[in-house]
Structure 1
């Protein structure tokens, strides 16, 4: 179900000296020598071949809601954002959703057909591709539960042909997938929706057009929250579903969209029986600051950018949390955030 838009010349979508802080929810990152945001699979494939020809390494990310960029990016890396790879196709009871679509768009699509299956993605920051990669979850819902087939490029094969894999073979677990083990670039996935009315493609395209008007604010958490909360309120009249209300209240209570951050910084260790946030709270570390960074006073597993923090500031707080948890509980927490140098 993947379509190919008319490609631009490669010079039209490669930027030089691009500030990476503008492409992540942390608002942190120095200037990249090479940056690109392809709008189609064709452009992405052309870009990857260009990197090979020029001897450039590359790093792929989506909206940038779960990454921490270096203050001094490598000069030999092409930083590739897929946040402009926006495609939402509807055919009968099957959707194809591309990697750059925000996960929260699924909650809006679900509301249009009165399905509760996608409510867990409401206000879940990040692109669908990143969600597929890490099996993003909230409460009891996870991406691996709602998709049927994933499309990808295998970077180990020079042909760069589009391949696919059924969800049953994706090795999904808690924030785990086969995509973390392979040199694959996720392009999107099929979603099969049964026993509900057909989704209005016109309506979802209208929402997507309004989202596209956000331009470079797609990585800004405040703009993200305003857009998706507003769209959900518009669609769920006269009464917002209870779980959606609970998500809104939880995010508001913990000030998730007040400061630049990547949400939860560490993966939870369920062998311990408590969340990382609870452990940090027990250690009385909430509110600790270093440079322009702070351990959120509202949520112990959030490291926030409160005053022009650097990547070094965030990494320092990561270290002191890791050391404190290891000393008290005997393990080193694994970062959920992808640290890109």
Structure 2
């Protein structure tokens, strides 16, 4: 290939269904899809898109995204799902943006700490987790972050910059990154490095994930990968803690991984004080179907791709829920899912 080949030509797959890059299994064929694995490739893509006047959309594992049925032909979709690295640098864990949050739970388990248990089976990558300050029960991503590294897309140099977690304006599902054209590329964790064995295990896990864990964006595939690793660690003397067993019981009980989905569709309104899923249940909307989509019979805040659903089917059911909640309870629920 010519040395003068542009980054878009060099790194992009062509005519690729976005449904393969979302746990919703929804999305039409995109003209350009890139999977950069290094900072250099990522910045080269942004520079080339700027020069060509091509719009881009950057995302991680696609676990919180509804892609369109007919994507823009000029849009360059940049997936960070192979942008995965775990290393110890200056005595701290550095984790790149495309690394699954669930991998952090294995880091904790292999290091003998429960600080990271809440990330177990959170189906998304660290970059997205920082962007939305992902949480489960009482644990949230901001609790374990020391420094975040990012690219400021408004800067001509596109150089990597850093910001301490205390300056990230973290709140419920909120961060400073939602208000600036910044792309998160990784973070130092505030969790201590435990042992050389832990480092070796985590280093060996990354190529295994890239090889068999992260493509396509399939929830059953994701579930089986991390469950298998927990079982393997148990066989090596790292007993599975009750907190992880509770996550397995909850997510399997709610059938989180039976059908393609993006988890909770709406944020909870803490001012109102009742979970959105409970409100949907009070409205008797669980089990409502439209096209190939259905409001989960097991969890009122999940809309499932039951049978080759389109984005339009999901949006229809979202509108039904929104209008019903506003009419009955007096507020408009805010989507948690990102509508591309």
Q: 1:276 to 1:146 in 2, by over 3 A?
A: same
What residue in structure 1 maps to residue 308 of structure 2?
308
Q: What's the offset of the Cα at 1:198?
A: 5.2
Residue among 187, 190, 194 paired with 2:188: 190
CA contact (8 A) 2:127 2:186 kept: yes
Q: What's the offset of the Cα at 1:217?
A: 2.3
Cα deviation 1:27-69 (Å, max 9, x = unaligned) = 0000111111111000000000110111101111001000000
Write the distance in 1 (CA, Å) between the matches of 2:256 and 2:232.
22
CA contact (8 A) 2:58 2:77 kept: yes
**C-alpha RMSD over aligned residues:** 1.5
Write the distance in 2 (CA, Å) between the matches of 1:78 and 1:23.
14
Q: 1:195 to 1:186 in 2, by over 3 A?
A: closer
CA contact (8 A) 2:31 2:74 kept: yes
Q: What's the offset of the Cα at 1:86?
A: 1.0
TM-score scaled to structure 2, two decimals? Answer: 0.95
CA contact (8 A) 2:87 2:203 kept: no
What residue in structure 1 maps to residue 266 of structure 2?
266
Cα deviation 1:250-293 (Å, max 9, x = unaligned) = 00100000000000010000111110000001111100000000
Q: What's the offset of the Cα at 1:215?
A: 6.4
CA contact (8 A) 2:20 2:216 kept: no
Write the distance in 2 (CA, Å) between the matches of 1:176 and 1:339.
17
CA contact (8 A) 1:93 1:193 kept: no
Residues 1:321 and 2:288 are matched in the alignment: no
Residue among 210, 228, 249 paired with 1:212: 210
Write the distance in 1 (CA, Å) between the matches of 2:206 and 2:308.
31
What residue in structure 2 maps to residue 221 of structure 1?
219
Gaps of at least 5 residues in structure 1 are: 1-7
- What pairs with 1:1-341 in structure 2 (closer than 5 Å)? 10=7, 11-91=9-89, 93-194=91-192, 196-197=194-195, 200-214=198-212, 217-237=215-235, 239-340=239-340
Cα deviation 1:157-210 (Å, max 9, x = unaligned) = 111010000000000000000000000000010013338445632211222221
Q: 1:109 to 1:308 in 2, by over 3 A?
A: same
CA contact (8 A) 1:265 1:301 kept: yes
CA contact (8 A) 1:109 1:199 kept: no
Q: 1:215 to 1:50 in 2, by over 3 A?
A: farther
Q: What's the offset of the Cα at 1:304?
A: 0.4
Q: What's the offset of the Cα at 1:91?
A: 3.8
CA contact (8 A) 1:151 1:188 kept: yes
CA contact (8 A) 1:22 1:216 kept: no
Write the distance in 2 (CA, Å) between the matches of 1:234 and 1:216.
18
Write the distance in 1 (CA, Å) between the matches of 2:53 and 2:193.
50
Deviation larger for 199-208 or 257-266: 199-208
Is the partner of 1:248 in helix, strand or coil? Answer: helix
Deviation larger for 86-95 or 222-231: 86-95
Q: What's the offset of the Cα at 1:222?
A: 0.6
Q: What's the offset of the Cα at 1:12?
A: 3.3
Write the distance in 1 (CA, Å) between the matches of 2:12 and 2:247.
38
Write the distance in 2 (CA, Å) between the matches of 1:97 and 1:196.
16
What is the number of equivalent residue pairs in this alignment?
333
Q: 1:9 to 1:107 in 2, by over 3 A?
A: farther
CA contact (8 A) 2:265 2:337 kept: yes
Gaps of at least 5 residues in structure 2 are: none
TM-score scaled to structure 1, two decimals? Answer: 0.95
Write the distance in 2 (CA, Å) between the matches of 1:53 and 1:33.
18
